[in-house]
Amino acid sequence: MSKRKRAALTEGAPDIVIITGLSGSGVSSATNAFEDLGYFCVDNLPLTMLPTFARLVQPGEDAQARIERAALVINIREGEFLPEFERELQKLRDRGLRVFVLFLEASDEALQRRFSETRRPHPAETGGGLLKAISDEREAMAHIRSLADNIIDTSDHTVHTLRKLLVDRFSPTMEGTPMRVQVLSFGHKYGSPPEMELLFDVRHLPNPYFVPELRELSGHDRRVVQYLNSKPEVEETLRRFSDLLDYLLPLYKREGKSYVTVGIGCTGGRHRSVMIANALARRLRRAGFEAQAIHRDVKKTKRRRS
């Protein structure tokens, strides 16, 4: 990579990243990674719209309306777009925008395997078979490839390793994205949430429902919190949950997960799960995770054991 081409990364995050490359090489996965990094992502933007879009990124009088960073997937496989790309790219750079062209490719074997697994037709297929379509596209994209600031061969990458590579390389803070953790309290009697990475059941803890003066309160209330904190098994449960999450969450992040939902369930989702979810989210934030507590069933009014 030349000194000029490295400048877009070493002098700060690019204003615009143009993502292109061979079909099946991971363009969609790359776009998802940039979205996680906070880039405004547009898929298949027509090349003719590039100057118009660039005005939204270009610093101007209305700073509130400006898009700080953008990642654009431009469909330039059609022949009419190929001759225009270099000229339009130079126009953006002449405006003073930091534009970075990312080109993804993979070996013929890897592309054949991916199209076979997904059973999707190759966009360059004209009846000559998959291998010829890959070869034709590779030849047609050769000039675009020569303009790229970075070429990534994704043959040996998984979705997770490609994401990690892009996050590490293009993070505006050079620190990657934080792990976002949602700690979701719920009541088992209303059904378990459909999508969770982890589920902790706290029905083993003392139940404030059976304390008359606490029954109508929730796990947000100071009196319920004090009651539960007075029970040694509550602190022990929180400590063990926290220790397990301290171990697991970095491993989830290493595998490319940006979001993890941790379910905390009690009977009715009103007392124990709410208090534990709040306390666990605070501990995770202190440990450096971006965590928030969400309470699905705390306002439900059915009068049963909680």
> Cα–Cα distance between 147 and 156 in angstroms, integer?
23
> Cα–Cα distance between 130 and 138 in angstroms, integer?
12
- Residue 222 has a CB neighbour count (10 Å cut-off) of 8
> What was the pLDDT predicted at 246?
92
> What was the pLDDT predicted at 258?
72
Domain extents in the chain: 3-170, 180-295
Q: Are 306 and 218 in contact (CB under 8 A)?
A: no
> Positive or negative, the Cα torsion across 201, 205, 209, 215?
negative
Higher local confidence (pLDDT), 73 or 173: 73
pLDDT tens digit sequence for 122-148: 888 888 888 998 998 898 888 889 999
Q: Does pLDDT of 6 surpass 70? A: no
pLDDT tens digit sequence for 41-82: 998 888 878 888 888 886 654 555 578 889 998 876 656 667
> Positive or negative, the Cα torsion across 154, 157, 158, 161?
negative
Q: Write down the mean pLDDT value for the chain.
A: 84
Q: Does pLDDT of 7 surpass 80? A: no
Q: Does pLDDT of 5 surpass 60? A: no
Q: Thinking of the domain 3-170, which architecture would CATH place it in?
A: 3-Layer(aba) Sandwich (3.40)
> What was the pLDDT predicted at 8?
43
pLDDT tens digit sequence for 12-40: 568 899 999 999 999 999 999 898 888 89
> What was the pLDDT predicted at 79?
61
